[in-house]
Homo-oligomer: A and B are copies of this chain.
Amino acid sequence: MSWISYDATSEFPIQNIPFGVFVPAAGAPRCGTRIGDSVVDLSVLQKAGLFNGPVLNGSDCFSKDVLNDFMGMGQPAWREARAKIQELFAADNGTLRDNAELRGQAVVDQSSVTMCLPARVGDYTDFYASKEHATNVGKLFRPGQPPLLPNWTHLPVGYHGRASSVVVSGTPVRRPRGQTKPPDATAPSYTVSRLLDFELEMGFFVGPANALGDPVKMSQASDRIFGMVLLNDWSARDIQPWEYVPLGPFGAKNFGTTISAWVVTMDALAPFRCPGPEQDPTPLPYLNQPNERRSIDINLTIGIQPPGAAEPTVLSNTNLRYMYWSLEQMLVHHSVTGCNMQPGDLCGTGTISGPEQFGSMLEITWRGANPVKVGEEERKFINDGDNVHLRGHCQGEGFRVGFGECTGVVLPAHPIEDI
C-alpha cells in the first residue's frame, strides 16, 4: 500500500505507476505518474535527485514535454523509475511523505492539471488483429465474397495511419464531410458524414529504436514495447467503402484518433498476461511466439453519453485477450522488411471484437439494421454532441490496474457549402 490513499476500485494503485505528460496549474508541460487521485510531478523528483539509480542518474528525461526520450531509454530505465516510484510512495517510506515542502511541489490533485499527449507520435500504425472484427467488416463491406482474406491468418494485417491527428482524451472531434457514394447512386457526392463510428482499440508505444534495414526479432520484441493506452479510431462508415480501394482507409479515418493520457507499462500489465486464441496455421518462424503469455486479460468497455445524460450507456464489453495477433507479433511484422520503429511510435491493435463482443457501432447495430438504446434514445451510429467513452482495466486480487478514461465529444460538421 501507499501513503496516498485510494480504494480498491482505483485504476491507479501503487501496482500501476503509469506515465504521462501534464500541464500543472502554473508552468510548462512535464512528465508525471498517477497514484489514486494524485498526479506526481516526476520532474520535481528528478530535480531533487531522487532518481539516483545507475541508469537514470543525471538524466532530465522527466522535464521534457513528451515521453519520447524516456521511452527510448529502454527497460532498464523503465524498471528503475517504476521501482523508485513504488519505493518512494510505499506506506512505510518517509522521504517524501514527511517532507511537506517537496511533497507539496511534487504531489497535486489530478483535477488541477491538464493532461497532454504522452508522446510526439512520429508514426501511427493501425492493425486489424481481431479475427471477429475483420470477419464482420468483410461481410459488411464485401458482401458475397469470403469475409476473411487469405493473408489474414498468416500475418497481422495493418496500415499506416495519420500521426498528426492523434489527440489526447477529452479533445473534441469534428464530424467530417467528404465523398460518399451509396451503392445505388451513379456518382459520388460531397456530404456530411452520417455514419460516424468509433472503434474500441488499444494502442502500444514503441520504446527503443531499431535501425532502418534491421528488423526487430521476436526475441527482442517485448523489450521494445513501452506500454499501452486505450485508443478510439474514429471512422466515417459512409466515406470508407468508397475511398478505401485499393490502397486502404484514408479520409474516413485521418480526421482523428483519440488515446487515453496515461501509458500503462508492460511491467504493470505483466501479471495479467494470458494465452490468446490458438493460431492455426502456425505462423512462420519469424512471427511465431509461445502462447502461454501471448495476450493480456484487459477488460474493455465502450459507451455513449448523449448531451445532458448523467452517465454513458455502456454498449459493449470486450477484452484484449480475444485478439488473434499479439503486440509482439505486430511489432515484429511491422519491421520485418526493415522499417525503422522509433521511440513514441504508436501502434493500434484494430477494433477489439470477440466471439460475442462488438467493438464498433458498425458491428453493434449491423450497419444500422439493429439500433441500440442509449439511455432513453436510440442510436444507429454516433450523433453530434455524443461523448464516446472507452474504459479498460485489469482485475488483480484486491486491486485494479486501469487506463483512466478515453473520451471525445462529437462537434457538428462545418456547413456543407463552406468549401
Contact = CB atoms under 8 A, between A and B. Distances in A.
Interface of A: 122-123, 128, 138, 141-142, 149, 151, 154-155, 157-165, 167, 173-174, 176-179, 181, 187-190, 193, 212-215, 217-218, 236, 239, 242-252, 254-256, 281, 284-286, 333-334, 336-342, 345, 411, 414, 419
A255 B337 contact: yes
A247 B245 contact: no
Nearest to A160: B160
A165 B247 contact: no
Contacts of A244: 246-247
A162 B160 contact: yes
B285 A190 contact: yes
A248 B151 CA distance: 13
8 contacts: A159-B160, A160-B162, A160-B250, A165-B339, A190-B284, A247-B248, A251-B333, A251-B339
Contacts of A342: 164
Given A160-B159, A212-B256, A256-B212, A338 B176 contact: yes
Contact of A247 (B157, B243, B336): B157
How many copies of this chain does the complex contain? 2
Contacts of A248: 159-160, 246-249
In terms of DSSP, what is the predominant structure of the interface of chain A?
A: loop
A225 B132 CA distance: 42
B255 A164 contact: no
A221 B236 CA distance: 24
Contacts of A337: 176-178, 193, 236, 239, 251-252, 254-255
A411 to B, nearest CB: 7
A255 B247 CA distance: 17
